[in-house]
Structure 1
Amino acid sequence: MFGAISTACLYPLETEKALSELLKQGVRRFEVFANCESEFSDSFTKEILAMVKSYGAKICSVHLYTCGLEPFMFFSNYKRRFDDAAEHYKHYFERAAFLGASDVVFHGDRKDSTLPHDIFCERFAVLAEIARAEGVALAQENVARCRSGKIETIKEMKKSLGKDVRFVLDVKQALRAGVDPIDMCDAMGENIDCVHISDSTEEHDCLLPGQGSYDFKSLISHLKSFGFNGPLTIEVYRCNYKVYSELYDSLRFINSLLQ
């Protein structure tokens, strides 16, 4: 288990500038949040990979800017749109694998969707297989506004898809859905590939780790019980801190918990 930072923490700073800032400050494990289509071009991803390699760093996961469109792209009644979108995501998967990422983060269907669960799982399985063929895992994140924000959905996905479904556990998203992150962790179990970590208080559900009162030791203990050995990736919003030094202090805090 190790600490990492998402480039999304520096948004709207351009992705390559965010990555450069983090690298210069000694960060060596990342999630890259790609914010537009051109950031999946061959030239841009080659630039990013060269930058990362020059520091001996690693990109653990890639987050797609199209996540908000996924209900429309993949979970409507129009199959041809699904087929076209799946082909489009194939390119994202290929570029993510090129960058050395293990996972591509997926938000999926909206929580008020009427799509039957078996069809939802069937379509996820198709996308997951395309991702595997390109060399990455499609990792379903628990998101409060999505179907995946419910523990029942996560359990049903595991039951239907078994080891073929991988998960991203997001602490703040669990809190926003009214779910204890520990309970969400238990539901995902050994299928967790990544963790999006943030702190909280009774008044605020998204703070930098170390600036709130969340019990990280219990969460880390639960993760260890499932054999998790992946990234604890800090993912907060730019409004959640004032200066970059706070971000780096937070990473040191996470790493201190893992020693």
Structure 2
Amino acid sequence: MRLLAREGFRVMEVFANSFFEFTKDYGETLREIADEENVRINSIHTVSSAFEPYLFDAYERRRDDFFRIYQDFLDFGQRVGAKVYTFHGLIKKPHPKMTFDDVVYVYEKMVYEAGLRGISLAQENVSWCLSGNLEYLKRLKERVKGPLKFTLDVKQAVKAGRSPYEYLEIYGEDLANLHLNDHDENSPCLLPGDGHFDFRSLRNKVEELGYKGPGIIEVYRENYTSIKDLSKSKADLERILSESLK
């Protein structure tokens, strides 16, 4: 975080890659660093396959166990000052004993619990999860109260063989977070500026929806070799977006 801050990054998303990384002590350390470096942690994200699918487990006691982990992660988010939790959700169809009504009930519990801490639960479109499916997202938006918010991830739309704009049509004014990345014919994920994605059109669309949140550069570790690569991408993206104003 310090290295990124010193390259001019001021708004960040924290990805907790282990349970240790969302403990109370670790969260307080991150918050101290963020305050020292004048950084705002807007959103949190985690290694979802470790616990998120179990929130929808057919076995109630196990479901309750993982809901407590979810609460711990929300506490971590509140500790670092985050306003959005980027959520992957189910990686496959629910257990046969879990109906869609049951899934909606769990989401509503999650939305409520997050709201108690000033955090929005933002379902992300993820190609290898049910949330890559447009119809599933439509059903969630129609049924879940709270309200449920959404994160758009450009690369995940590409991986699902869909246009990011198809997801935005569903999200509408409930878009709460934006993951920016680029792509070309050979790779579904590149640093912004290294591919051919039209960021100007995306900016125009999210502005039409009233989105006023940040755009988070979210790529994989293999997409860059140094912090300087991220800094260059930030500069490229700012230049591209500023051109849309001319």
What is the TM-score with the length of structure 2 in the denominator?
0.92
Aligned pair 1:161/2:144, yes or no?
A: yes
CA distance in 1 between partners of 2:237 and 2:145 (Å): 30
CA distance in 2 between partners of 1:95 and 1:239 (Å): 27
Contact preservation (8 Å) 1:74, 1:123: yes
2:214 aligns with 231
CA distance in 2 between partners of 1:89 and 1:105 (Å): 12
Aligned pair 1:73/2:67, yes or no?
A: no
The secondary structure found in structure 1 opposite 2:126 is: coil
2:90 aligns with 109
How many angstroms does 1:41 deviate by?
2.1
The secondary structure found in structure 1 opposite 2:73 is: helix
CA distance in 2 between partners of 1:229 and 1:131 (Å): 21
Instruction: Report how many aligned residue pairs link the two structures.
Output: 240
What is the TM-score with the length of structure 1 in the denominator?
0.87
Contact preservation (8 Å) 1:104, 1:136: yes
1:58 aligns with 40
1:15 aligns with none
One-letter identity of the residue aligned with 2:76: R
CA distance in 2 between partners of 1:106 and 1:42 (Å): 20
The secondary structure found in structure 2 opposite 1:164 is: coil
Q: 1:111 to 1:178 in 2, by over 3 A?
A: farther
Aligned pair 1:187/2:170, yes or no?
A: yes
1:12 aligns with none
- Aligned sequence identity (%): 33
CA distance in 1 between partners of 2:239 and 2:51 (Å): 37
Aligned pair 1:93/2:95, yes or no?
A: no
Contact preservation (8 Å) 1:186, 1:222: no
Aligned pair 1:24/2:6, yes or no?
A: yes
How many angstroms does 1:72 deviate by?
4.0
2:238 aligns with 255
Q: Which runs of 5+ in 2 are unaligned?
A: none
1:118 aligns with 101
1:35 aligns with 17
Higher RCO structure, 1 or 2 (CA under 8 Å, sep 6+): 1
1:201 aligns with 184
Q: Which runs of 5+ in 1 are unaligned?
A: 1-18
